[in-house]
Amino acid sequence: MTTDLIGHFGRFGGRFVPEALIGALDELSLAHQEALNDPTFQVELMELHRTYTGRPSIITEARRFSEYCGGARIFLKREDLNHTGSHKINNVLGQALLTKRMGKKRIIAETGAGQHGVASATAAALLGFECVVYMGEEDTKRQALNVARMKLLGAEVIPVTTGSRTLKDAINEAMRDWVTNVATTHYLLGTVAGPDPFPTMVRDFHRIIGDESRAQMLELIGRLPDAVLACVGGGSNAIGIFYAFLNDQSVRLIGLEAGGTGVETGKHAATIVGGTPGVLHGTRTYVLQDDDGQTRESHSISAGLDYPGVGPEHAYLHEVGRAEYRAITDDEAMEAFSLLSKSEGIIPAIETAHALAGAMKIGKEIGHESALLINLSGRGDKDVQTAAKYFGIPL
Amino acid sequence: MSQLEKSFELARAENRALLIGYLPAGFPTLERSISAIKAMIEGGVDVIEVGLPYSDPVMDGPVIQQASETALTNGFKTGNVFEVVAASPAPTLVMSYWNPIERFGVAAFAHELKKVGGEGVITPDLTIEESESWISSTDKERLHRVYVVAPSTTDNRLTEVSARCSGFIYAASLMGVTGARTDISSAAQSLVERIKKVSKTPVCVGLGVSTGAQAREIAKYADGVIVGSAFIKLILESNSESEANLKVKSLATELAAAVRR
Ligand SMILES: Cc1ncc(COP(=O)(O)O)c(C=O)c1O
């Protein structure tokens, strides 16, 4: 999908921001466009990915987990093996190099699960930036381990105590900081949401996941997978793996949203499945909102998916029918979490477990002849406490 | 000529800047937001800006965030904003983030506001690029359309944005969110001067203005002074409605004296 000059994906996307930020967004847009066409930038980023991130990431065939997926062949794109433990580092290193290019020395970031915050703190340490991470107070409790990691890396973590005290409010606070300090500060947004150019730029930094996977699948099985699956919070790991397959009409693209206790209960974060078009955090997209356009609180066992918005490109892919979106409940995700751990020796992030639960359903639907590619977006170390509590394991 | 334009004309004739007071509708309750507006006007505020409380006010500091949250917790609904506008005895504009307007229906919002005598709308997060339906609806209803520009706004963009403003242009005094500041930066004056070069529309300065001394400085170069958080803070700090309204009226009196040149 190519956007128009002002960042639209069909009727979604665009910019809904204070004028104060327009200059910074234009500057970022330009830096991104120049970097895309600058071989030295690309070489520097690829070199960092090779020697620091650990790319290319491997693909693991999950032969035992396949049993729970109707016998479908299951291929895991191992973004969990990246440095810092998730896909988030792809985007962070890209934006960090852009920050350097723009001559800024301070980065701010929002984080839900803490994975994006950790990746941002890591890049700041590597490149010598000051780093401030905004995190909802509720999430600092759910993800205490990651808070400590960010501090160890030298970042300042500011707990956000407004609103629902989760990711949405952390983004509000980061935007306020940015409006105030925009001359010296880059807002290193962690997903494909927000005003143009973020959805396009963050996608471009993550498309390496799909580019690598597509070639790897052709080499491994001599054909494309029947479906590509990923969990969707803001949608960065999903668009990253989908993008290379957009024109492969035979490949189903399936995004799994956080269904919480069930979309029908109202306690969920399934923005496309259970939301309506609106404007949130600078972009037009699907939003969880009430009749008055007030944002509704989202709910998910997974902090990284607990967001009442979604990237505008997903809203578009949903509307034109190129990608499908489904909701996975907390319980379904935790079952998949446990099954993958016990059948493959891989403990996934709870976010990722939503994609795995999706594979269990889709595999049964399309059968044992099929091949499913799943973005294993992150590892579950950060979730040990939550999972232990869920499964009643004493700590 | 609209009521707002008449107010500017009157202020000019009296050699003073216009004083605009901001309060969120429904804060702390619907009735009290109306009585506080009346107290502002008794103190000498010329024009009222009624905020439409929103769950994610990224342009607002802690005081307005808290006021918006209180209003929403106390049951504010979008439709209530029209009751407040209808009850305001002075020319009144609404200030709203974009999503509540879009959700209400762009044309319907403009129509309802006109019906209750509203003068126009200030939209802090609506860019001109996304304004097509808004411009046609506000033109149709003959409502003023106020965009907020900032010290970082380039001259080219000031020209573009000003051309789509009517009533006045809202100049943010600084790079940042709403809330009282001890100093008003020199950025405000140079921004107003830059706008004056490209537009004949009146320019009002807001964000961070809380005292008579600050208002006096701004009144020297701007057509209007906008004060919000300082009023809300007084209401938050008061123990009763009567105490709050007395304090609001007295700040309004101080500011109204200060904007005389
Ligand atoms: C491992 C992992 N996967 C997925 C997500 C969700 O983000 P996105 O939808 O942008 O990929 C997160 C967010 O924190 C995460 O940590």
pLDDT tier for residue A2 given thresholds of 50, 70 and 90: low
Q: Please tell me the distance between residue A141's alpha carbon and the centre of ligand 1 in angstroms.
A: 18
For residue A92, report the distance from its CA to the centre of ligand 1, in Å.
13
**CATH fit for domain B3-258, picks 3.30.2310.20, 3.30.70.360, 3.20.20.70, 3.40.190.10:** 3.20.20.70
Work out the mean pLDDT of chain B and round it to a whole number: 96
The pLDDT of A298-326, averaged and rounded, is 96
Is B156's pLDDT higher than 70? yes
Q: Which of A215-224, A282-291, B122-131, B169-178 has the lowest mean pLDDT?
A: B169-178
Angle of helix A198-221 versus helix A312-319 axis, rounded to 10: 60
Inter-chain Cβ pairs, chain A and chain B, closer than 8 A = 109
Please indicate, yes or no, whether the overall pTM of this predicted structure exceeds 0.95: yes
Q: CB B127 to CB A19 under 8 A? A: yes
Integer Cα distance of B5 and B166 in angstroms: 10
CA-based radius of gyration for chain B: 17
How would residue B181 be classed by pLDDT, with cut points 50, 70 and 90?
confident
Model pLDDT for residues A97-106, shown as the tens digit of each residue: 999 999 999 9
d(CA A257, CA A233): 7
Q: Pocket of ligand 1, candidates A82, A83, A88, A310: which has the most ligand atoms within 8 Å of its Cβ, to mutate?
A: A88
Give per-residue pLDDT as tens, A96-140. Answer: 999 999 999 999 999 998 999 999 999 999 999 999 999 999 899
Looking from the CA of residue A349, the nearest atom of ligand 1 is: 1
Q: Which of B100, B130, B147 sits opposite A292 (nearest CB)?
A: B100
Q: In the annotation, is A377 catalytic?
A: yes
Q: How far is the CA of B129 from the centre of ligand 1 (A)?
A: 31
Residue nearest to atom 15 of ligand 1 (CA): A304
Q: What is the pLDDT of residue A142?
A: 79
Do residues B154 and B190 make contact, with C-beta atoms less than 8 angstroms apart?
no
Query: Which of the following is catalytic: B14, B31, B60, B112?
Result: B60
Residues composing chain B? 261
Among A142, A205, A236, say which to mutate for ligand 1: greatest number of ligand atoms within 8 Å of CB.
A236
Return the number of other C-beta atoms located less than 10 Å from residue A218's C-beta. 12
Q: Residues near ligand 1 with C-beta < 6 Å? A: A 86, 112-113, 115-116, 191, 231-238, 304-305, 349, 351-352, 377-378
Domain boundaries defined on chain B: 3-258
B235-260 pLDDT, tens digit each: 999 999 999 999 999 999 999 999 99
Query: Is pLDDT larger for residue A395 or for residue A354?
Result: A354
pLDDT in tens, A165-200: 889 999 999 999 999 999 999 999 999 999 999 999
Nearest to B149 among A19, A172, A287 (CB): A19
Distance A19 CA to ligand 1 centre (A): 30
Active site residue B9: no
